[in-house]
Structure 1
Amino acid sequence: MAKSKSEETPLMLQHKAIKDKYPDAVLLFRVGDFYETFNEDAVIAARVLGIVLTKRANGSASYVDLAGFPHHSLDTYLHKLVKAGHRVAVCDQLEDPKTVKGIVKRGVTEMVTPGVAINDKLLENSSNNFLAAVHFGADTTGVSFLDISTGEFFIAAGSIEYVDKLLQSFRPAEVLFARQQQKHFKATFGSRFYTYTMDEWIFTATYAEETLLKHFQTHSLKGFGIDSLPAAVIAAGATLHYLKDTEHPHLQHITRMQRVDQDDFLWMDRFTVRNLELLNSSVENGQTLLKVLDNTVTPMGARLLKRWMVFPLRDKKHINERLDTVEFLIKETDLSKALHHHLKQTGDLERLVSKIPLKKINPREVMQLARSLQQVQEVQQLLQTTHNDYLGRLHEKLDACEPLLNRILDEVMENPPALVNKGGVIKEGINEELDSLRNIATKGKDYLLQIQQKESEATGIPSLKIAFNNVFGYYLEVTNTHKNKVPESWIRKQTLANAERYITPELKEYEEKIVGAEDKIQTLEARLFDELIQALQGFIKPVQEDAQVFARIDCLLCFAHNAVQNKYRKPVITDGFDLQIKEGRHPVIEKGLPAGEAYVSNDLQLDKESQQIIILTGPNMSGKSALLRQTALITLMAHMGSFVPATSAEIGLTDKIFTRVGASDNLSGGESTFMVEMNETASIINSITPRSLVILDEIGRGTSTYDGISIAWSIVEYLHDMTPHRPKTLFATHYHELNELENKHGRVKNFHITNMESGNKIIFLRKLAPGGSRHSFGIHVARMAGMPPELIDRANEVLSNLEEKHIDAPLKENIKKISTPTQQLQLNIFDAHSDTFKLIREKLDHVDVNRLTPVEALLKLSEIKNMIG
């Protein structure tokens, strides 16, 4: 039976009214010293947090589920709920319960979702926490990315493929879109993201523009360079609406929007980012390029390095600026060491300054902000006379905000507490009233001792003492031995077994001064600290600029450090199309080699005139895939502005890197390995340009051999003859038949990874050499993997028979030779008494498979199929 409103307690009625406003969030409801959850929220909290689920009375003969935790544990439990994918509304008491008769006024003070997190426990120092919004426009798709913890705000618009790549690169914690577009979003981007849907009216051009203009207090969006991106403007407006809707009205630290233009960066689709293992490894705890390269010392630098990696530069001038600066920092070792030292002393400037408008910054963090600004001063001094143009321009952007710095140092204690209400935040000499109150509070005990001594001498009671309790405050305690000496003016308050307690008018008057002083000190310090925070608001933008400058310097110092430690060399970026690498190495694999083992380097050349396509063959596990990936990674690192793992590298400007590596099913989407492979390859074929680098590994192995060979063959021919772009291409394959392409096409060259046989063993030399390979050595790999010896022996027997009769024997004889030695349980189709099968057998008897081209094989197969059909 449903409960009527009259049956519910006033507290539960208040809870219900607030919960109705936030139906899709777990409501943490402050009751005294606890945050409580009720009903379905309590069930979730108990499960996720591992706390006890109980029941409590709720009016007449009704009960509700209940689960709670102490208010001081909020950060810990909030972190767990949000990480588990829940939206959480924090409902606090808005009044002091001591001053209120009846129920305390309550309201939601903060809504925390995966994409809207500012608590340090919810954030990773080296990663952004982006909230994204997507809007499907008529012609383009718009997207925005906002990190409320740093104030960074990026927007872009383009094709679905471009937006998909951005989503993978920015890796948002939460994605917003219009409720009506839910099916379209899922069909387009799948279920890879935590999502939240909103009403359609929020995603309209008029409302979005109004929201953005109001926030940035401008008359136009032209200054942001986004007025030509209507779909992106709508996405950005929806993002700001969502922040205000989740109780985040103070957003003064979001000071600008940055447009992400596809033409500014080297393009890598999401398959390439995955295949090259830039951010994530395909194996658990595996190394990635980011882990190897990230030797930054500031959180801002770590976050920026990740962006530089997924958005490499495409402008030769800007690339060379970074490369020249890295070279300068390598040579100027004293400067580099000094910069490294000062950056290391710097806190997370971006996140510190972003806490100011949100009113989340505490006294200890304010002092950390000041110390970071002191490091800005030191770096300004170091760069004042630098002879590097890029560092010189960065120096001009630095601002130590001296008025702000001096005010913090003048007003805040050197080692303040984390919480204002703990006291000891504001220095002496800042406020006369505060100093006076502190004097009363701190010297009160001395005065009490003076009263004790005075009264002891006046009454002749040597054992007289002053003490305090919460019932009647300060008192004088006299033992029964001396109670006859107590003056009549003293007021007795309590009788004990061996003593009596008294108060005096003088003692009571001073008690009121002391207790009142402590309360006033707390109130006054909170007010003075709040005034300081208000003053900090005016310095948000220059401090953010300092943070971005420090992040860039940190990344460049990191590149210089990597170059020295790992023996990287400065690449030469050219306007041409050639790619020439001398003694190139894989930056990740070489770091994982056992101590003392050197990585086998390789030379590689690709150009548009004589060696456009390399067909790479070689044994399994010989290093084909490593060579492919290292070529792409060296190209990528050069465009980041980093030195590269090679003795020299001449790299023509590259606008796109495509990779198709490995096989993976998309079973949830109903796609097989082969379908995924073809989708990815088709995306490459349809997007190539003259400046593209194409890396293809084992294309066609997801289907039958003849199909696979035919598709691989035709892809190579298409890249060579059927497109005018002539993209530089590395094609690794097990299909040795593709070696024939070198004889038919002038810009196709065969190479193989060398090996050496020793008895039954194979030694991988991992060296690139001209010419194709005719062996795969799959059986050797099977033995290395631990296959049973009898299985390996049988495989060798079958292989021996095939190789012995491969050239002249008809196919029928080969089939007989490799038939299993165990009892045959299935009839051979050639033994059937059928005229059709006899004809098929005769045709196969006259086929020489060694001289059969892939196309002839397909034609022959089609002919046999028609005979059966």
Structure 2
Amino acid sequence: DPVLTKMLEAQMPAGCFNALDETCFEPGGANTVLDRELDADVLEKSTIKEHPAAKVAAGVILRYVNSTQMVRASHISEIKEYSPENYLILDETARRNLEIFSTIQDNVRAGSLFSLINETLTPMGARRLRWWMGYPLVVPEKIRARLAAVAEIKDSHAVRSNLRKTLSRIYDLERLAGRVALRVATPRDLIALKSSLAVLPQLQAMLTDFTAPALVKIRKEMTDMSVLVDLLSRAIVADPPPRTQDGGFIASGFDDGLDQLRSISRDGKKWIAALEAKERQATGINSLKIGFNNVFGYYIEVSKANASLVPDSYVRKQTLVNAERYINQELKEFEQTVLSAEEKIRERENEIFNQLREDLMPYIADIQYNAFRVAELDAFCALAEVAEKYAYVCPEIDEEDVINIKDGRHPVVEAVLKNEGFVPNDTLLNLQGNRLLVITGPNMAGKSTYIRQVALIVLLAQMGSFVPASHARIGVVDKIFTRIGASDSLTKGQSTFMVEMMETARILTDATSRSLVILDEVGRGTSTFDGLSIAWAVAEYIHDFGGRGMRTLFATHYHQLTDLAASKEGAKNYNIAVKEWGEKIIFLRKIMEGGTSRSYGIEVARIAGVPAGVIARAKEILRNLEKGEFDEIGMPRIARGKNVEKQGNPQLSLFAESEDVILDELRQIDISSMTPLSALNKLSELKSKL
């Protein structure tokens, strides 16, 4: 479908697309692929048979894997069903705005939440932790089970240190299992596999005293791999070459035939000396000697004076002036053996290695199972390490609608500031009197940091991590939505404001009363009146949604939104505290109850380095606007000039005052004293004021 292809390419410009015949998407074809590529027990354990569309998708994926790997994907031992209702949903916008896996500005890992939390020591541990962060849980019992494991490891300092030292010796078991299954494992891969499996009993022993169910399960379900470890120890040398072509990777003593070939190759001179001594004794020719040249190969040389003593078993090979050269059957066989020994060694090593890889196939499922347990343990240890390193606390998790955070901190910003100190802030959200928090304050004061930190604390808690706070009670949320900042999407033909509105529409359409909504500067991409109107309507919708509302943090420069608290019982006003020092301001970074009507925009511009002349002129214009200086046509006095007349306070209000003025004027008119003409003139005057 050309139209669909263009849509996909527009959405994923860096993607690679492969077209498949439509027959690949038929149920019959999918069943054939699944039956061919997967073991019967994999399909039997999976719920995929209950989902026809999922079967087709799995079949297409396996068909693609088979076409690229050219072998049966026998290491795929499980098909898991992903049910969104089992996880906290984070759409791509939320992941980007909260900088969970990469930063917004540079799109790099450094500076992201994951880069801070990822204290894992194994590749599969990092992948497990990334999964937990990308798909936090929503079932309190499961979250508390993870937290219990993290808490117990955190409190066991010595054991945690030993666990992490041992984990650091483990290679990527998941990838190694895949390489074995695809029959591309190298000798070094097998040594990495052996050394990794060899430390599993040590991990099990260290977990003996732990009582957290998740840790007990890890200890009990690690399987004994000693037979495989022994096999690999006997089969592969301790430090094999990187490639099989280099040879010398099968250990001595593992195969008698290979040992004999190596002995021939290594001990050829000794064998020749022994044969020479034996033949001298047998023939009585003391001058007999065995030699070699590139033309005739190995030979037995006898002087012509002793030619009569040469036995019949010798076959003449070359005649010299003073000697004859012969060969016998034993030397001929040795020659053939020695000359082909190196080639035979390589062939035999490859035969042994290929058979060894086949012998490992029954162990793949156990390797994967142990890899999964090691990954979980590594992730738990990483979260425990982070909790102690940054003084995080264990959150309380329940299904209520309350999010109560004491002394909350933004984890990444706090780590970046290090010794400078991070100002902590409290947060109380619920579906009663604190469902919509309207946060006002100047730029750079910390509004965006504050609202982001609340979302990150909730995310960390529901993935099973301790959180940056002195206390936290988290009523689980089903989705986190963000509307923070925006930029043009030129490739999609979307303006900044369009992107902003699309994100807002997504929130209003998909959020529920269990969701956490983070809004920053809704409506700023258009005119003041339009933006304010949209922001106000969005805030009302969120507050009233389903009769319960949504737990929402709404940061804005529209100070008029603070009027919502007067009419909406679930709305509360907060502001970022600012201390004025002469004409300068100091950002205190503290969230205070109540709204504010000042933006301090000019002072922020000064701090940002805007030239002094521009700052001075901006202050002049601001004073004109605040004093109500208007020009001759009623516009705010901005351009320099004369004939300035004072008018009323031009401060914009949400509700226009012109209608009220006209109504007052109408009430004061004495209709009985007006002529028809004066009445028409008055009506025209009033109409012109609308």
Q: Under a length normalisation based on structure 1, what TM-score does the superposition of the two structures give?
A: 0.69
Instruction: Report if aligned partners of 2:37, 2:72 keep a CA contact under 8 Å in 1.
Output: no
Name the residue aligned to 1:853. 654
1:369 Cα offset (Å): 0.8
Q: Tell me the alpha carbon deviations over residues 795-842 of structure 1, each in whole angstroms, 9 at most, x when there is no partner.
A: 122122222x14xx5575884632157xx9xxxxxx9xxxxxxxxx9x
Whether 2:638 is the aligned partner of 1:818: answer yes
Change (3 A) 1:476 1:695: farther
1:474 Cα offset (Å): 6.2
- Within the candidate set 781, 786, 798, 2:621 is matched to 798
5 Å-filtered alignment, 1:463-502, equals none
Whether 2:573 is the aligned partner of 1:750: answer yes
Name the residue aligned to 2:400. 576
Name the residue aligned to 1:553. 377
Mapped partners of 1:418, 1:444: distance in 2: 28
Supply the AA of the counterpart residue of 1:818: I
Mapped partners of 2:395, 2:434: distance in 1: 21
Name the residue aligned to 2:490. 667
Structure ranking higher on relative contact order (CA contacts 8 Å, 6+ apart): 2
Change (3 A) 1:846 1:757: closer
Supply the AA of the counterpart residue of 1:206: G
Mapped partners of 2:563, 2:87: distance in 1: 37
Q: Which has the larger radius of gyration?
A: 2
Mapped partners of 1:309, 1:748: distance in 2: 31
Whether 2:11 is the aligned partner of 1:210: answer no
Instruction: Report if aligned partners of 1:660, 1:677 keep a CA contact under 8 Å in 2.
Output: yes
Name the residue aligned to 1:725. 548
Name the residue aligned to 2:560. 737
Mapped partners of 2:658, 2:305: distance in 1: 124
Change (3 A) 1:180 1:793: closer
Q: Tell me the alpha carbon deviations over residues 581-620 of structure 1, each in whole angstroms, 9 at most, x when there is no partner.
A: 1111111111111x52011111111111111111111111
Q: Under a length normalisation based on structure 2, what TM-score does the superposition of the two structures give?
A: 0.86
Supply the AA of the counterpart residue of 2:351: R
Whether 2:388 is the aligned partner of 1:597: answer no
Change (3 A) 1:695 1:447: same
Change (3 A) 1:181 1:397: farther
Change (3 A) 1:290 1:220: closer
- Within the candidate set 482, 487, 506, 1:683 is matched to 506
Name the residue aligned to 1:428. 252
May I ask how many residue pairs the two structures share in their alignment? 654
1:293 Cα offset (Å): 0.5
Supply the AA of the counterpart residue of 1:674: F
1:663 Cα offset (Å): 1.5
Q: Tell me the alpha carbon deviations over residues 488-546 of structure 1, each in whole angstroms, 9 at most, x when there is no partner.
A: 99967999xxxx99975367653322122222222222112222111100011111010
5 Å-filtered alignment, 1:397-796, equals 397-448=221-272, 505=327, 510-593=334-417, 595-796=418-619
Mapped partners of 2:323, 2:91: distance in 1: 82
1:858 Cα offset (Å): 12
Q: Tell me the alpha carbon deviations over residues 543-569 of structure 1, each in whole angstroms, 9 at most, x when there is no partner.
A: 101001111111110000000001111
Sequence identity, in percent? 36
Instruction: Report if aligned partners of 1:710, 1:855 keep a CA contact under 8 Å in 2.
Output: no
Instruction: Report if aligned partners of 2:149, 2:214 keep a CA contact under 8 Å in 1.
Output: yes
Instruction: Report if aligned partners of 1:343, 1:554 keep a CA contact under 8 Å in 2.
Output: yes
Supply the AA of the counterpart residue of 2:219: H
SS of residue paired to 2:18? strand
Mapped partners of 2:370, 2:456: distance in 1: 31
Mapped partners of 1:292, 1:696: distance in 2: 25
Whether 2:166 is the aligned partner of 1:346: answer no
Mapped partners of 1:360, 1:668: distance in 2: 41
1:453 Cα offset (Å): 9.4
5 Å-filtered alignment, 1:37-52, equals none
Q: Tell me the alpha carbon deviations over residues 739-775 of structure 1, each in whole angstroms, 9 at most, x when there is no partner.
A: 2212222221111111222233322111111111222
Mapped partners of 1:519, 1:757: distance in 2: 86
Instruction: Report if aligned partners of 1:213, 1:220 keep a CA contact under 8 Å in 2.
Output: no
Name the residue aligned to 2:670. none
1:219 Cα offset (Å): 8.8
Pairwise CA RMSD of aligned residues?
A: 3.7
Change (3 A) 1:445 1:750: same
Whether 2:183 is the aligned partner of 1:359: answer yes
SS of residue paired to 2:420? coil
Instruction: Report if aligned partners of 2:30, 2:56 keep a CA contact under 8 Å in 1.
Output: yes
SS of residue paired to 1:604? strand
Mapped partners of 2:120, 2:304: distance in 1: 77
Change (3 A) 1:627 1:399: same
Mapped partners of 1:791, 1:814: distance in 2: 25
Q: Which runs of 5+ in 1 are unaligned?
A: 1-177, 478-482, 825-830, 832-840
Instruction: Report if aligned partners of 1:475, 1:501 keep a CA contact under 8 Å in 2.
Output: no
Whether 2:45 is the aligned partner of 1:223: answer yes
Instruction: Report if aligned partners of 1:709, 1:854 keep a CA contact under 8 Å in 2.
Output: no
Change (3 A) 1:689 1:472: farther
Instruction: Report if aligned partners of 1:801, 1:814 keep a CA contact under 8 Å in 2.
Output: no
- Structure with greater proportional strand content: 1
1:306 Cα offset (Å): 1.1
Mapped partners of 1:639, 1:812: distance in 2: 61
